[in-house]
Amino acid sequence: MMLGFIVRRCAAELGHTPSPDEFAAWANRQKQNGKSYCLFGKEISSSVAKVMFSQPGRIVTVSPKGLARIWKGDR
Q: How many domains does the chain have?
A: 1
**Rg for the chain (alpha carbons), in Å?**
11
Taking the CA atoms of 56, 59, 60 and 65 in sequence, report the sign of the dihedral they define.
positive
- For residue 6, the tally of other CB atoms under 10 A from its CB is 21
Instruction: State the DSSP H helix or E strand holding residue 31, giving kind and residue range, or none if neither.
Output: strand 30-32
At residue 41, the 3 state secondary structure works out as coil
- Give residue 72's pLDDT band: very low, low, confident or very high (50, 70, 90): low
**Percentage of the chain surpassing pLDDT 90?**
39
Average pLDDT over residues 8-34: 92
Residue numbers of the domain that contains 41 = 3-72
Instruction: State the DSSP H helix or E strand holding residue 37, giving kind and residue range, or none if neither.
Output: strand 35-37
One-letter amino acid for residue 55 of the chain: Q
